[in-house]
Amino acid sequence: MTRFDPYFQSALDALSRQHLRRDLAPLAHHGPAIVRRDGTELLNFSSNDYLGLSRHPALRDRAIDWTRRFGTGSGASRLVTGTTDQHRLVEEKLARFKGTEAALLFASGWQANAAVLPSLFRLSREQAGAPALVFTDRLNHASMHHGCQAAGVRQIRFAHNDLDHLDQLLAQRRGQAGLRFIVTESVFSMDGDRADIAGLRALADRHEAFLYLDEAHATGVLGPQGRGLSAQSGHIQSGSTPSGGADLAMGTFSKAMGSFGAYVAGSRALCDWLVSTCSGFIYTTALPPGLLGAIDAALDLVPTMDAARAHLSAISDRVRTGIAALGWDTGASTTQIVPVIVGPADRTLQLARTLTDHGILGSAIRPPTVPAGTARIRLALSAAHDDSMIDRLLRALAAGTGPA
The model's confidence at residue 400, banded by pLDDT at 50, 70 and 90, is: confident
* pLDDT given for residue 22 in this prediction: 86
Asked whether residue 159 falls in the same domain as residue 46, the answer is no
**Of the candidate ranges 17-31, 105-119, 302-316, 373-387, the one whose mean pLDDT is the lowest:** 17-31
Encoded amino acid at 331, one letter:
G
Q: Would residue 165 count as lying in a domain? A: yes
Q: Are residues 214 and 282 in the same domain?
A: yes
Domain range for 375 is 21-55+306-399
On whether residue 230 sits in a domain, the answer given is yes
Domain boundary among 240, 260, 287: 287
Q: Please report, as a single letter, which amino acid is at residue 351.
A: L
How many percent of the chain have pLDDT more than 90?
90
Same-domain status, 170 and 251: yes
Same domain, 236 and 125: yes
Choose the final residue of a domain: 257, 287, 317. 287
- Rounded to the nearest 5°, which phi and psi values hold at 129? 70, 20
List, by residue number, the catalytic residues.
48, 141, 185, 189, 214, 217, 255
pLDDT for residue 32: 86
Q: Is the backbone peptide bond immediately before 403 cis, with ω within 30 degrees of 0?
A: no
Contact status, residue 214 vs residue 113, Cβ threshold 8 Å: yes
42 within some domain: yes
Question: Minimal CA–CA distance to 375: which of 324, 337, 339?
Answer: 339
Domain count, the chain: 2
Domain check: are 172 and 213 in the same one? yes
**In whole angstroms, what separates CA 227 from the centre of its chain?**
14
Identify whether 324 is part of a domain: yes
Contact 264, 296 (CB under 8 A): no
pLDDT of residue 67: 98
What confidence score (pLDDT) does residue 231 get?
A: 86
- Please say if the pLDDT value at position 141 is more than 80: yes
pLDDT for position 401: 58
Give me the mean pLDDT over the 220-238 stretch. 77
| 177-189 CB burial, b ≥16 within 10 A, e <16 | ebbbbbbbbbbbb
Same domain? For 208 and 150 the reply is yes
E strand spans, 277-393:
337-343, 360-361, 364-365, 375-380
113, 145: one domain: yes
Dump pLDDT digits (tens) for 57-115. Answer: 999 999 999 999 999 999 999 999 999 999 999 999 999 999 999 999 999 999 999 99
Q: Do 241 and 123 sit in the same domain of this protein?
A: yes
Residue count (the chain): 404
Nearby residues of 223 by Cβ (< 8 Å), 6 or more positions away? 229, 230, 231, 232
Sheet holding 34-37, edge to edge: 28-29, 34-37, 40-44, 360-361
Task: Give pLDDT tens digits for 256-313.
Answer: 999 999 999 999 999 999 999 999 999 999 999 999 999 999 999 999 999 999 999 9
- The residues, any chain, with a CB within 8 Å of residue 54's CB and separated by 6 or more, are 29, 32, 47, 258, 259
Q: Nearest to residue 147, comparing CAs of 106, 175, 196? A: 106
Same domain, 147 and 242: yes
- Give pLDDT, residue 232: 56
- From CA 391, how far away is CA 398, in angstroms rounded? 11
Domain boundary among 287, 319, 345: 287
119 domain-assigned? yes
Q: Does 126 share its domain with 254?
A: yes
Q: Flag whether pLDDT at 239 surpasses 90.
A: no
Q: Give the mean pLDDT of 348-363.
A: 95
Is residue 87 domain-shared with residue 171, that is, in the same domain?
A: yes
Give the rounded percent of residues in the chain with a pLDDT score beyond 70.
96
In this structure, are 217 and 346 located in the same domain? no
Does the residue 2 lie in any domain? no
Number of Cα atoms under 13 Å in the Cβ half of residue 392: 19
pLDDT at 243 over 50: no
Residue 187, domain member (yes or no) = yes
Domain harbouring 127, CATH code? 3.40.640.10
Domain assignment present for 251: yes
Query: Does residue 147 carry a pLDDT above 90?
Result: yes
The CATH code of the domain that includes 326 is: 3.90.1150.10
